[in-house]
């Protein structure tokens, strides 16, 4: 199984400041035949289901604000919130879909400082 890890576990960021979340996979999720990284990011607010933000490591889902961006390749990935808004307080999960079982990272909680 591909194990996903995230850092930090939590972070508090001032409004308008940048938040950066890291995700690492235990093996590469880059598929060489199409040069795509099988990595997605979700946002989950309390009492709500997960919401897809990004897939293919850097493709923003329709309707997701452009302050959210994804980067990285192979085994190391980053989700960046360029200017944190109050509504961004949530837990963020990375997920690999390179192989079965699909696996999620443990989550990173983002709060306002």
Q: Which of 25, 38, 58, 81 binds another protein (CB under 8 A)?
A: 38
The contacts found for 31-36 with CB under 8 angstroms, 24 or more apart, are 31/98
Contact 92/112 with Cβ under 8 angstroms? no
By CB under 8 A, residue 93 contacts another protein: yes
Considering only residues 42 through 61, tell me which ones interact with another protein, judged by CB under 8 A. 42, 44, 48-52, 55-56, 61
Question: Is the Cβ of residue 67 or residue 109 nearer to another protein in the bound state?
Answer: 109
Q: Are strands 76-81 and 59-60 parallel, antiparallel or unpaired?
A: unpaired
Which DSSP symbol is given to 3?
Answer: -
Q: Does 92 bind another protein (CB under 8 A)?
A: no
In the complex with another protein, the residue whose CB is nearer, 16 or 47, is: 47
């Amino acid at each position: 199984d591909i194990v996903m890890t995230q850092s930090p576990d939590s972070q508090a960021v001032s409004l308008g400041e940048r938040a950066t979340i890291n995700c690492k996979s235990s093996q590469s999720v880059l598929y060489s035949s199409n040069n795509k990284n099988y990595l997605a990011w979700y946002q989950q607010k309390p009492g709500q289901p997960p919401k897809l933000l990004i897939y293919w490591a850097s493709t923003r889902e329709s309707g997701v604000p452009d302050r959210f961006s994804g980067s990285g390749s192979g085994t190391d990935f980053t989700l960046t919130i360029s200017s944190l808004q109050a509504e961004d307080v949530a837990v963020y999960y990375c997920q690999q879909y390179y192989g079965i079982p699909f696996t999620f990272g443990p989550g990173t909680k983002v709060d306002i400082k």
